[in-house]
A and B are shown apart, each in its own frame.
Chain A
Amino acid sequence: MSAPAIELRDVRKSFGPTEIIRGVNLAIPRGERHAVIGPNGAGKTTLFNLISGRFPISSGTITVNGKSTAGLPPQEINRLGLSRSFQITSIFPRMTVFENIRCGLLWSRGYRYSFWHLLGGQKALNAEVDRLLDRLKLGDRRNVQAGLLSYAEQRALEIGITIAGGADIILLDEPTAGMSHSETDAAVELIRGVSEGKTLLMVEHDMSVVFGLADRISVLVYGEVIASDTPAAIRGNAAVQEAYLGTIAA
C-alpha cells in the first residue's frame, strides 16, 4: 500500500504560550480532494503553513509523499511534490502574467539557477506556459503586469503559479475568497480541472464550493479535527452541526 500523500501525526503548534494546533491527526490518500473547514481562528491557515513549511511545527510529524518534512525549508517541501497557494494573493506583481507562470515552472523543468539558458529560446517551456494561460483563461492578459490584474484574475493567476510546476499535491487556501458568484463558479471549474488525478487539500469558507468539490471533509475547531468524513456524513454529524454548520444553517 502506498503512503498517503500527506500524513499528520499528533501535530502541535504553539505561538508563545498559546497552542493554536492541538494534536492534529490527518491522513490524505493520493488522489483525494480534501477540504478543511472550520470557524474563523480554528487554525486552518496555520495548518497549511505547517504542512508547507512556512512555520516549523512544535511537535509531531508531518510526511509528504512518505517523507518527513521535519526541518525542511519551504522550497524543499515544494520539491517533494507539494505546492500551495495563499489566502492573501501572493504573486510577482512587477512581472508579467506570462512570467509569473513561467517562474512557477522553472524549477520543476530542471532550469534551477541556470544563467546560461536564454528563456526566450526555450520554445517548449514557453509553449507550455501559454497552454496553461489559456486554461486559466488568462491568455489575453499574457503581457500585462500581474499587479494590474483584477482581483479575480489575480486569484486565477495565484492558482496558476501553484499548479504550474505539476506538483501532485496541491494546497489551496481559500481560493474563492472575495469572489462574486459567477467568478466562484468559474474558479470551481478551474480547480476541478487542474486537480484531476492529483491530491487536493483546500481551506474554504464557501460551503457550496466545499460540498461540490470535496471527496472528504475535515472539520477543524480550536486546533483539533473533530470530524473527518464524506460530505454526506459531515452534513449529518451532530458534533459538527453544533460546533459549526448549525450556526451558519440556522
Chain B
Amino acid sequence: MSLLRRNWLWLLALVVLLAFPFLFYDWAKGRHSGFALTLMSEIGVMAIFALSFNMLMGQAGLLSFGHAVLFGLGAYCAAHVVNLVKAGTIWLPTELVPLAGGLGGLFFGFVLGWLATKQRATAFAMITMGLGELVSAAALMFMGFFGGEGGITIDRVMDTSLLGVRYTSPWQVYCLVLAWAFIAAALMRLQTQTPLGRMANAARDNFERAQFVGYDPRRIRWIQFTLAGFFAGIGGGLYVLIYEIVTFDTVSAAKSANALLAVYIGGTGAFFGPILGTIVVVLLQSGVSLLSNAWLLYVGVLFIVMVMYAPIGLVGLIGLHAPIWRAGRLRELLLPYLRALPPALMVLLGFVLLVELTSFTTIGAAQGKHFAIAGRTIDTTSPLPWGIALVALGLGALWLRREARAFRLRWDALMEDAKRQAGAS
C-alpha cells in the first residue's frame, strides 16, 4: 500500500499515457491515429535518451556532445539482432530487442567511455564531440555494420513475442515503448540513489574532495558513462522497432543536440526535467515542422531564451512556485498570470508572423507555397501584414513589460509572506 502511495505519480502517468492516444482515435473507422501514436512513441524514445544524457550532464556534470553515438550504435546493434532473429540464427523475443540495443550501448559506452572519461569538463566535451564526428564518419565507411547511406532496415514482425503480440500496429509498438520507457526511467531514477549515483554528484560538485574520501573520479565518470550508454542503447533499440530502419543520422551531432536541447529546456534540477523538455522539443520538431518551414528557428529561439532567462529550465521555473504553493496562496498568482497572458500572446503572434512572412518570401516562394491563415492567402509583398507584425511585437513588448513589473511586485510580496510563514511555523 505504501508502495502505491509513494509511486502514485508514476501510476497516474502510466494511465494517462495509455489513455491519451484514444483522444485521437478514429471511432468511425475503429482505428488509432498513426501520427499521434508515432509522435508519442518518439517522445517515449527521446525521453529515455534525454534522461540518459542527464545521467552525464545533470548527475555527473559531464556535457557530452556525442551522446547520440551511444543511442545510434545501440540502434544498429538492435537492428542486426532483429535481422539475425528473422534469419533464424538466434532466438530472441521481440519484447527484449531494446535490451539488445541496451547491451550494445553498454559495450560502446564502456569502450568509448574509456577514452572520453580520461578528462572532465571542457576536455571531456571536446573528446565526445570528436567521437561523435568519428562515428558519424565511420557510419558511411563501414558498409557491413552501418549499411551506408541506406542504413539497416528490419521487419519488426518477428513472431517471437512472449505475449503473443505481433507488433503489426503502431498501438502495439506504442505499448512496448511505454513499458520500456517506464522501466528505463524507473531504473535511472533508482540509480541516482545508489553509491555510484551519489558519488557522481559528489565528483561533479568537488572532484578533488571525492578523491580524498577514497574515490577515483575517473572511475566514477567511466562507470556512469557506461550505464548512460546502456540506457541510451535501450532508446536506440526502441527506435529501430518504431521506424524499422536505422540510418547514420541516429549517431549524428544533430541527434546529440536534441538531447542537450531537451535537457536544457526541461531543466536538470529535477529528475523529470528532461522528460518535460523532450515533450516540448519533440512537439516542436514533429508538430510545428508540419506547419512551418521555420520550426528549427523556433527551437533555437526557445533554447536561447531558456538559457538566458531561465537556465534552471521548466522544472526549475515550476519549482520556484513551491514556497507559495506550500503557503497555500498559489491562487493569488492566477490573476497576475492571466494579465500577462494577452501581451505575451501578442508578442508571440507578432514574432511568429514576422518569422513566417520572412520565411515565405524566401523558402516558401522557392517552394511555390502561399502563406495562408485560416484559408485566406496573405500577400507577403504588401506592407500590411508586416506592419501588423511589427506593431504587435512592439506594442506587445511594451505592454508585457508593464505587466511583468506588476507581476514581479506581486510575486515578491507573496514570496516574502511565504517565507515569513514558513519561518514562523
| CB–CB A161/B196 < 8 A | no
Per a CB cutoff under 8 Å, which of A52, A73, A74, A106 touches B198? A106
CB-based contact A107/B198 at 8 Å: no
B-side contacts of A84, CB under 8 Å: 212
Any A CB within 8 A of the CB of B7: no
A74–B211 contact, CB under 8 A?
Answer: yes
- A80-97 CB contact bits vs B (8 Å, 1 = yes)? 000110100011111100
Establish whether residues A113 and B211, one from each chain, have CB atoms under 8 Å apart when the complex forms. Answer: no
Given A91-B206, A113-B196, A115-B195 in contact, is the A161-B201 Cβ separation under 8 Å? no
Specify which chain A residues have a CB less than 8 angstroms from the CB of B216 in the assembled complex.
73, 75
Contact A161 B209 (CB under 8 A): yes
* Closest-CB distance, B184 to chain A (whole angstroms): 14
> Across the interface, do A92 and B202 meet the contact criterion of CB distance under 8 Å?
yes
Minimum Cβ distance to chain A for residue B316 (Å)? 14
Tell me the complex Cα distance, A78–B193, Å: 24
Q: With the chains together, A188 CA to B219 CA distance in Å?
A: 36
Flag whether A181 is at the interface (Cβ < 8 A): no
A107 and B214 form a contact (CB under 8 A): yes
Say whether A78 contacts B202, CB under 8 Å.
no
- Interface with B: A61-69, A117-125, A216-224, which one? A117-125
Cα separation A79 to B212 with both chains bound (whole Å): 9
Contacting residue for A94 out of B201, B212, B215, B223, CB 8 A:
B201
Q: Establish whether residues B214 and A92, one from each chain, have CB atoms under 8 Å apart when the complex forms.
A: no
Which of chain A's residues 32-88 have a Cβ closer than 8 Å to chain B? 52, 54, 73-75, 78-79, 83-84, 86
Closest residue of A by beta carbon distance from B223: A113
Interface residues on B, range: 20 to 34
Of the four ranges (under 10, 10 to 19, 20 to 34, 35 or more), the interface on chain A belongs to 35 or more
Distance (Å) between the CB of A30 and the closest chain B CB?
21
Shortest Cβ distance from B205 into A: residue: A92
Expressed in whole angstroms, the minimum distance between the Cβ of A79 and any Cβ of chain B is 5
> Which residues of A sit under 8 angstroms from B190, Cβ to Cβ?
118
Q: How far is the CB of A49 from the nearest CB of chain B, in Å?
A: 11
Task: Indicate which residue in A104, A106, A162 contacts B195 across the interface (CB closer than 8 Å).
Answer: A106
**A107→B213 contact, CB < 8 A:** yes
Report whether B212 and A52 are in contact in the complex, using a CB–CB cutoff of 8 Å: yes
User: In whole angstroms, what is the CA distance A161 to B214 when docked?
Assistant: 11
CB-contact partner of B214 in A79, A102, A119, under 8 A: A79
Q: How far is the CA of A99 from the CA of B206 in the complex (A)?
A: 13
List B178-208 residues whose CB lies under 8 Å from chain A. 190-191, 193-199, 201-202, 204-206, 208
* Chain A positions within 8 Å of B223 at CB level: 113, 115
The reply on A25 being an interface residue by CB < 8 A is no
What residues of B have a CB within 8 angstroms of the CB of A90 in the complex? 206, 208-209, 212
The binding surface of chain B is classed by DSSP as helix
Task: Write out the residue numbers on chain B whose beta carbons fall within 8 Å of the beta carbon of A115.
Answer: 191, 194-197, 223, 227
Pick the contact of B201: A95, A162, A165 (CB < 8 A): A95
Within 8 A of A (CB), among B11-35: none
Residues of B within 8 A of A92 (CB): 201-202, 205-206, 209
Q: In the complex, A8→B275 CA distance in Å?
A: 54
B212 x A73 contact (CB < 8 A): no
Q: Is A116 an interface residue (CB 8 A)?
A: yes
User: Chain B's nearest CB lies how many Å from the CB of A219?
Assistant: 26
Please name all residues of chain B whose beta carbon is closer than 8 Å to the beta carbon of A99 when the two chains form the complex: 198, 201-202
Write the chain B residue with the least CB distance to A161: B213
CB distance from A154 to the nearest CB of B (A): 12
Choose among B196, B202, B206, B209 the residue that contacts A114 (Cβ–Cβ < 8 A): B196
Q: Determine whether B347 belongs to the interface, using a CB cutoff of 8 Å to chain A.
A: no
Residue B57 lies at the interface, judged by CB distance under 8 Å to chain A: no
Q: Let me know if B199 and A103 touch, CB within 8 A.
A: yes
- B contact residues around A117 at 8 Å (CB): 194-195
Residues of chain A within 8 A of B201, CB atoms compared: 92, 94-95, 99
In the assembly, what is the distance between CA of A108 and CA of B214, in Å? 8
Contacts of A107 in B (CB 8 A): 213-215
Question: Do residues B214 and A75 form an inter-chain contact, with CB atoms below 8 A?
Answer: yes
Q: Quick check: is B210 within 8 A (CB to CB) of the other chain?
A: yes
Known: A106-B199, A115-B223. A74 touches B194 (CB 8 A): no
- Is there an interface contact between A78 and B194, defined as CB atoms closer than 8 Å? no
- Pull 20 A–B residue pairs with CB atoms less than 8 Å apart, ordered by A: A78-B211, A83-B213, A90-B208, A91-B206, A94-B204, A103-B213, A106-B195, A108-B214, A113-B195, A113-B196, A113-B219, A114-B194, A115-B191, A115-B223, A116-B194, A118-B190, A120-B193, A161-B209, A162-B212, A164-B213
Apart from A73-B211, A74-B208, what are 15 other A-B pairs with CB-CB below 8 Å?
A75-B211, A75-B216, A83-B213, A86-B209, A92-B206, A95-B201, A99-B198, A102-B198, A107-B213, A107-B214, A113-B195, A117-B195, A119-B193, A119-B195, A161-B213
Q: Which 7 A-B pairs have the closest CB atoms?
A: A107-B214, A111-B195, A74-B211, A115-B196, A92-B205, A115-B194, A78-B214
Query: Residues on A close to B: CB < 8 A?
Result: 52, 54, 73-75, 78-79, 83-84, 86, 90-95, 99, 102-104, 106-108, 111-120, 161-162, 164-165
